[in-house]
Structure 1
Amino acid sequence: MVMFKKNKSVEIIDMFSTHRVSAQFRSAFRPATTTTVWLLKIMLPISLVVRMLQYYGVIAWLAQYLDVVFQYIGLPGASAIAFLTGASVTTYAGLAVMLSMELTMREATIIAIMMLLCHALPLECAVVKRVGSNPWEMAALRIVAAFAAALFLNAVLPEMTNPFVAHPEADAEGTVWTVMELWLLASMKLSLMIYLLIYSLMVVQRLLSEFGVMPLLDKPLRPVMLLFGLPENSAYLWLVGNVLGISYGSAMMLDLEDSGAITKEEANEVNYHLIMNHSMLEDTLVFSAVGISAFWILFVRMLFAFLLVWSRRLLGLSFRKCKTVSKKG
């Protein structure tokens, strides 16, 4: 009788858990659709414009002037268009430009990581400003980090001559309609891929929230915080920023600041890390899906976040020591 009751209880718990899981899958459908439509409204027109500019030779004309700078970081001048698009709009917009260009896998890896370090500057700098960080300083640091990372990758990456995307032939001898047809086919594949990725990410985010997984990871992550030079009590904040993105992370920072759980300076320190290293789950999945190495994405972003925070801490310590010595003198 006792065993029957126990089994019945387990069955009820399992049914309840299954219902909670299925509810997250259902609830993700509408926002995933809305987000995908919003992204495609940005990405598809940009990718079509780039295809047309390529067809009429405008990209090649611009590239000859930009080659002088970008050749030092192992990139063709035309790739500057992808970087500038990503830096000013979103990584998805920059990716749309990349997918419209003829790049080797090596070139695509470099430009992808540049964009991941430096993207959506107007939006994300406005977000970090809300929690007290200097938006101009953050923007400058991200631009410098992007080019520093490109120099580093150009020095260490092996030759990868295989194409990033296999483009069917549609050169100057083809017609505009041929270009349009190829663009439409590529866009359909891209749209499906983006929807599946965004839907999967939203389901994961909802499951983590529904079952309270993220707060449970707070204590185990504290040693990682010390390694990155961040306050111990910022583990949950760091996790939110890395899983959900800098916008969610900043919203959480404001809440923690208001409650007194974290100081303004501690929140600022976390921001220095997050500007280099945020949305790791989404960004890694998206760029891995188009062939960019997950190892280089994770390694370079974590490396630059580590270097930035520790450099800032050491410079601050040196400055305070100099100030103390000058006062004693």
Structure 2
Amino acid sequence: MTILQEIKSVLWRSGRISLELYKIMVPIIIVVKILQELGLVVWLARPLAPVMQMVGLPGEMGLVWATALVSNIYGSMIVFVSLAGEHPLSVAQVTVLGVMILIAHGLPVELQIVRKSGPRMGFQALLRIGGALMLGWLLSRIYAWGGWLQETNVLLWQPQPESTDLLVWGLGQLQNLAMVFVIIVALSAIMRVFTAIGLTSLCVRLLAPLLRVLGIGSEAGTLTIVGMIMGLAYGGGMIMHEAHSGKVGSKDIFSSLSLMGLSHSVFEDTLLMVVIGGHVSGLLWARIIFTLVVIALLVRVVAWLGDDFFHRHLFKPVEVYSKPEPCCPGAIVPDRK
């Protein structure tokens, strides 16, 4: 294949992945904005007050997590900064809150991306929200038991409040959507290069023992690594593409996306929580260890429950399309086999 054909193939594949993501993201972004404008997120925060107290946080921090759950990390940071002056927290408390935000945020968009690949949304929501609460509770107990990170938190950075102008907001969202396409193009091109020089297969071979324990085959291994580093929207988008192509098995998809749900964008998102005062001991290391343990146990429980339970409650196979990997667009024909 010539260089020009490779470029066309990368652009075509990236365009398909981006289009599938846009179909999910655009309606949900609009709905979430309406909820925010109507002040309905505050109502979601009220039931979370007792939950916050369970993990050693003031009830008012429920609004921070509620914002993260329905919106994104940046929105929750703005709410946190607005409350920080009235409710000073320790570094340990901010770390607990940060871990919960990192595991469970942007659920309307991210759970739809996961659902489009096959895993059932109800269980994935339970996994992420339950995982956030479990790790938050564990860390709060550990930090209190050891007397660690009990000093008063100091904000390292304060984000600027979002503009209330709808036109400015709309232009910002268009920029974000355009950036999604740019990043997917870059990732697709990098993965093609890595595959060509053998780096992809080397990474998968090196990580094969760990991936095998986590129930993730070689076909999904590289995409799982992409998701953990770059984020669920990107890794999940690529998994979604592979799921519809029939190249990745159901249990590989389930394990991969469950892992990504608990730990994704491990560098960028972790740094965002660091700048509001969280500590890497919980934000990064505890989260990764917790994720590996949970997914390893989950894989074994799913195998014990059997395929019938898996397909009835945890996974709904997606339609597989029979299509070429062209250098230019072609028709998509459902594979009826």
TM-score by length of 1: 0.62
CA contact (8 A) 1:70 1:80 kept: yes
CA contact (8 A) 1:272 1:308 kept: no
Asked if 1:165 corresponds to 2:148, the answer is: no
Equivalenced residue count is: 245
What amino acid maps onto 2:273 in structure 1? F
Uncovered stretches (5+) of structure 1, i.e. residues with no partner: 1-38, 54-61, 168-184, 189-194, 324-329
SS of equivalent residue, structure 1 residue 119: coil
**Which residue of 1 is the match for residue 100 of structure 2?**
114
Cα distance between partner residues in 1 of 2:190 and 2:302: 40
**Which residue of 2 is the match for residue 219 of structure 1?**
202
**Which residue of 1 is the match for residue 282 of structure 2?**
296
Cα distance between partner residues in 2 of 1:127 and 1:186: 28
What amino acid maps onto 2:151 in structure 1? T
2:160 to 176, 179, 187: 187
**Which residue of 2 is the match for residue 247 of structure 1?**
233
CA contact (8 A) 2:227 2:260 kept: yes
Query: Once structures 1 and 2 are overlaid, which stretch shifts more, 144-153 or 233-242?
Result: 233-242
Structure 1 residues 254 and 66, CA gap change in structure 2 (3 angstroms): closer
**Which residue of 1 is the match for residue 329 of structure 2?**
none
CA RMSD of aligned residues (A): 4.0
Cα distance between partner residues in 1 of 2:231 and 2:94: 23
Cα distance between partner residues in 2 of 1:166 and 1:265: 42
CA contact (8 A) 2:228 2:266 kept: yes
**Of the two structures, which has the highest relative contact order with CA contacts closer than 8 Å and spacing of 6 or more?**
2
Cα distance between partner residues in 1 of 2:271 and 2:201: 23
Give the structure with higher Rg (CA).
1
Cα distance between partner residues in 2 of 1:99 and 1:240: 31
**Which residue of 2 is the match for residue 96 of structure 1?**
78
Structure 1 residues 186 and 129, CA gap change in structure 2 (3 angstroms): closer
CA contact (8 A) 1:272 1:305 kept: no
**Which residue of 1 is the match for residue 9 of structure 2?**
none
TM-score by length of 2: 0.61
**Which residue of 1 is the match for residue 56 of structure 2?**
74
By how many angstroms is 1:209 displaced?
A: 5.7
Cα distance between partner residues in 1 of 2:181 and 2:246: 30
By how many angstroms is 1:210 displaced?
A: 5.3
What amino acid maps onto 2:66 in structure 1? L
Query: Once structures 1 and 2 are overlaid, which stretch shifts more, 68-77 or 90-99?
Result: 68-77
CA contact (8 A) 1:98 1:108 kept: no
Structure 1 residues 298 and 235, CA gap change in structure 2 (3 angstroms): same
SS of equivalent residue, structure 1 residue 147: helix
SS of equivalent residue, structure 2 residue 223: helix
Higher helix share: 1
Matches of residues 137-286 of structure 1 in structure 2 within 5 Å? Answer: 137-157=123-143, 158-165=148-155, 187=160, 212=191, 215=195, 216-221=199-204, 222-223=207-208, 224-286=210-272
Cα distance between partner residues in 2 of 1:225 and 1:299: 18
Cα distance between partner residues in 2 of 1:202 and 1:299: 30
- Give the percent of matched residue pairs that are identical in Structure 1 and Structure 2: 21
By how many angstroms is 1:226 displaced?
A: 2.8
SS of equivalent residue, structure 1 residue 297: helix
By how many angstroms is 1:152 displaced?
A: 0.5
What amino acid maps onto 1:121 in structure 2? L
By how many angstroms is 1:153 displaced?
A: 0.6
Query: Once structures 1 and 2 are overlaid, which stretch shifts more, 156-165 or 80-89?
Result: 156-165
